């Protein structure tokens, strides 16, 4: 179980951060729990009874601010990865004193949160294989994204294709497109492909394994750019 903390005196910002973390950790297949605190004092008290792995800590809080809270945390334990959250980059340099891993600027950018989260997971030695959770035939399944060739849609039904099997579930490609990693790219209104398995671009189609999938005119340029970038990374 991965135990995370969000400590921020603004409920709306706690909710925003929680949504990003929950989505990404679900993709990673992590079993996790996120605790929330609206002040540093409550977080420090909780350390007497709980152990946390990753702490997202707002700097600008009333009474005990984030830096002072981090000092109190370090008096008790060196274990958790501390990630500062702030609206003011000038505060960032204070993180060295308390061995903060990184910082996230407000307003939140999903890419930054995900990047910092994965750095923390790596430091903790956690497996970061990504999964996508779906309901298929009455069962809750974890699709290993690294093994998923592509997704196709037919109205409100989505099919995930892997080398060994196919899984059908209720959903929309547009939702998947916003939730999946960047190497899943839209090539058609009915197809979302994993660039890892694209063998070649062939005019108005792509070759994945032995399958040739259509590429729509509106997606052709974006696909070519994404594929070239993926090959260079």
pLDDT value, residue 92: 63
210 is in which domain, residue-wise?
143-232
What's the CA gap between 17 and 40, in Å, rounded? 17
- What pLDDT does residue 93 have? 66
191-194 sheet: strands from edge to edge:
166-170, 157-161, 150-154, 191-194, 184-188
Cβ atoms < 10 Å from Cβ of 147: 16
In the chain, what is the greatest distance between 2 CA atoms, to the nearest angstrom?
63
Looking up residue 47, the CATH number of its domain turns out to be: 3.40.50.2300
Same-domain status, 50 and 14: yes
pTM of structure? 0.67
The pLDDT tens digits along the chain (233 residues) read 999 999 999 999 999 999 999 999 988 888 999 999 999 999 999 999 999 999 999 999 989 999 999 999 999 998 899 999 998 777 666 677 788 999 999 988 998 999 999 999 988 988 667 888 888 878 888 888 989 999 999 988 999 999 888 999 999 999 999 889 889 999 999 999 999 999 989 889 999 988 999 999 999 999 999 998 888 87
Residue 134 lies in a domain: no
Which among 61, 88, 123 is the end of a domain? Answer: 123
Q: Is residue 130 part of a domain?
A: no
Per-residue exposure over 49-71, b if at least 16 CB sit within 10 Å of its own CB, e if not: eeebbbbbbbbbbeebbbbbbbe
CA distance 38 to 12: 11
């Amino acid at each position: 179980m991965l135990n995370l903390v969000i400590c921020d005196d603004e409920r709306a910002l706690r909710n925003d951060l929680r949504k990003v973390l929950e989505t990404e950790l679900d993709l990673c297949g992590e079993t996790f729990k996120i605790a929330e605190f609206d002040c540093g004092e409550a977080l420090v008290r909780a350390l007497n009874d709980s152990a946390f792995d990753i702490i997202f800590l707002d700097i600008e809080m009333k009474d005990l601010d984030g830096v002072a809270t981090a000092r109190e945390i370090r008096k008790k334990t060196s274990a958790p990865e501390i990630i500062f959250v702030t609206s003011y980059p000038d505060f960032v340099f204070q993180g060295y004193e308390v061995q903060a891993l990184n910082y996230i600027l407000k307003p939140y950018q999903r890419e930054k949160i995900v990047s910092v989260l994965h750095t923390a997971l790596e430091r903790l030695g956690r497996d970061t294989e990504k999964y996508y959770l779906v309901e298929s035939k009455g069962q809750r399944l974890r699709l290993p994204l690294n093994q998923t060739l592509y997704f196709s849609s037919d109205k409100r039904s989505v099919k995930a294709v892997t080398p060994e099997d196919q899984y059908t579930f209720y959903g929309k490609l547009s939702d998947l497109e916003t939730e999946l990693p960047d190497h899943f790219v839209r090539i058609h209104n009915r197809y979302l492909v994993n660039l890892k398995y694209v063998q070649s671009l062939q005019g108005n189609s792509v070759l994945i394994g032995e399958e040739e999938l259509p590429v729509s005119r509106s997606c052709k340029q974006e696909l070519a750019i994404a594929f070239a970038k993926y090959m260079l990374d």
